[in-house]
């Protein structure tokens, strides 16, 4: 006999509205949602919100658990579990772990460690140690000399669920203005201006030599395996046209209003960083996520480098933009990223879907995660 669990006295955020009521969970699924009091007594949510478990497509936070200090490599399984716990406590129940391939001045391609990391996640999954459903997002720095070799190697050995195509050449896209690039990389590395100029020349040469050929090969690799493709830092209408022609489904962090508007109109889901929302702008001086939300072209938020920002970002959007609606804001961190990556069994509080949900208490304006369920099992 299946056990039914009822959660009552909650503000339930569905894709279309927020209602005062209750939710019934059964066999790992959402069985029923109702308004007012439930037919049978349930656990009292004390008026807190119930939201779908969040879906995160682009986080590199695993790296900071693997390498908590420069030159320190932490035990892979321990790092994976600490990361998993932090992701879950941030209200995220499905995460795309982002790993970078292609050497970059920003350093570390994950290729050398990819096997060990994938093994750590897999062994944790097999022992039922994970709180969150983990997927893999392969981030490809397309102008790097070694990117095709590394991506081919990984795709031959591991399951990959999302591929993004990045070009961080100074003077292009995210760093259209090379002085912004110098501040970003110079600040990280402490390099002299002369050294940075040399790097810029080398990177531009790599772009000219590799960009078009590598991009074509990576698109073909993804298509041959049916893997969803994302563009990254699209800036011009030409970038968007190229993305549309390549069958890209998701635009990560477009840097201008025109690129975002054109992507959205072409049916390419526009994803922006939640830290950008919370901080009130882009750390690279590009278009703000809030501007795109106000223009009606923000589809997805990603926590990027701060897991807790995903939930905060959704509530901030709903708070700041009159008429946007909490349900629509929550869709940007649950339903929309699910659908963009072909996961149609989750991402909303709707009967029949996976019972991935979170209880959120408001501490003033700050949303606080109190409980998390995955497949109707408490994981936080």
The footprint of Fe ion (CB under 5 A) covers 174, 233
Residues 6+ away with beta carbon under 8 Å from 300:
57, 250, 269, 270, 271, 272, 332, 333, 336, 337, 340
Q: Which secondary structure element, helix H or strand E, spans residue 237, and what is its range?
A: helix 237-245
**Cβ of residue 159: shortest distance to Fe ion, in angstroms?**
25
Beta carbon nearer to Fe ion, 174 or 309: 174
State the Cα–Cα distance between residues 259 and 187, nearest whole angstrom: 28
**Cβ of residue 117: shortest distance to Fe ion, in angstroms?**
21
**Cβ of residue 253: shortest distance to Fe ion, in angstroms?**
6
Helix axes 193-225, 147-157, angle to 10 degrees: 40
Beta carbon nearer to Fe ion, 136 or 231: 231
Beta carbon nearer to Fe ion, 124 or 230: 230
Residue with tokens 């001086």: 285
Residue with tokens 């997927």: 135
State the Cα–Cα distance between residues 303 and 205, nearest whole angstrom: 32
Cα–Cα distances (Å) from 3 to 31, 217, 274, 325, in that order, read 11, 50, 37, 34
Beta carbon nearer to Fe ion, 174 or 235: 174
Beta carbon nearer to Fe ion, 284 or 334: 284
**Cβ of residue 167: shortest distance to Fe ion, in angstroms?**
9
- Indicate the residue whose CB is closest to Fe ion: 174
**Cβ of residue 166: shortest distance to Fe ion, in angstroms?**
6
Beta carbon nearer to Fe ion, 8 or 252: 252
State the Cα–Cα distance between residues 67 and 36, nearest whole angstrom: 49
State the Cα–Cα distance between residues 35 and 23, nearest whole angstrom: 9
Helix axes 237-245, 257-265, angle to 10 degrees: 30
Cα–Cα distances (Å) from 241 to 172, 214, 279, in that order, read 16, 18, 30
DSSP state of 36: S
**Cβ of residue 58: shortest distance to Fe ion, in angstroms?**
10
**Cβ of residue 98: shortest distance to Fe ion, in angstroms?**
12
State the Cα–Cα distance between residues 344 and 163, nearest whole angstrom: 19
Cα–Cα distances (Å) from 106 to 110, 181, 273, in that order, read 12, 11, 19
Beta carbon nearer to Fe ion, 80 or 248: 248
Helix axes 193-225, 178-189, angle to 10 degrees: 100
Beta carbon nearer to Fe ion, 233 or 299: 233
**Cβ of residue 7: shortest distance to Fe ion, in angstroms?**
39
State the Cα–Cα distance between residues 140 and 151, nearest whole angstrom: 7
Beta carbon nearer to Fe ion, 35 or 179: 179
**Cβ of residue 54: shortest distance to Fe ion, in angstroms?**
22
Tokens of 221: 């690799």
């Amino acid at each position: 006999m299946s056990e039914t669990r009822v959660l009552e006295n909650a503000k339930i955020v569905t894709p279309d509205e927020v209602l005062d009521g209750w939710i019934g969970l059964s066999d790992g699924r959402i069985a029923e949602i109702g308004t007012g009091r439930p037919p049978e007594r349930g656990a009292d949510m004390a008026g807190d919100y119930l939201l779908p478990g969040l879906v995160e497509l682009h986080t590199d936070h695993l790296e900071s658990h693997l390498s908590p200090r420069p030159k320190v490599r932490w035990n892979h399984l321990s790092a994976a579990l600490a990361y998993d716990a932090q992701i879950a406590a941030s209200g995220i129940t499905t995460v795309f772990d982002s790993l970078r391939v292609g050497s970059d001045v920003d350093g570390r391609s994950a290729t050398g460690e990819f096997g060990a990391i994938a093994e750590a996640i897999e062994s944790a999954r097999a022992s039922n140690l994970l709180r969150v459903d983990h997927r893999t997002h392969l981030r490809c720095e397309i102008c790097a000399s070694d990117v095709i070799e590394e991506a081919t190697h990984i795709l031959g050995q591991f399951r990959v669920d999302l591929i993004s195509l990045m070009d961080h050449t100074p003077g292009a896209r995210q760093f259209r203005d090379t002085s912004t690039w110098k501040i970003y990389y110079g600040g990280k590395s402490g390099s002299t201006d002369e050294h940075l100029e040399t790097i810029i020349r080398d990177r531009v040469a790599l772009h000219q030599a590799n960009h078009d050929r590598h991009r074509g090969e990576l698109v073909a690799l993804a298509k041959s395996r049916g893997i969803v493709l994302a563009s990254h830092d699209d800036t011009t209408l030409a970038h968007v046209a190229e993305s549309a022609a390549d069958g890209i489904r998701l635009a990560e962090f477009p840097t201008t209003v025109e690129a975002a508007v054109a992507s959205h109109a072409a049916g390419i889901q526009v994803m922006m960083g939640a830290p950008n929302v919370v901080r009130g702008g882009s750390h690279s001086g590009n278009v703000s996520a809030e501007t795109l939300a106000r223009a009606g072209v923000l589809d997805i938020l990603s926590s990027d480098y701060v897991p807790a920002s995903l939930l905060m970002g959704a509530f901030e959007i709903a708070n700041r933009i009159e008429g946007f609606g909490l349900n629509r804001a929550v869709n940007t961190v649950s339903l929309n990223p699910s659908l963009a990556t072909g996961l149609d069994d989750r991402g909303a509080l709707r009967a029949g879907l996976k019972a991935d949900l979170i209880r959120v208490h408001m501490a003033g304006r700050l949303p606080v995660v109190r409980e998390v369920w995955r497949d109707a099992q408490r994981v936080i």
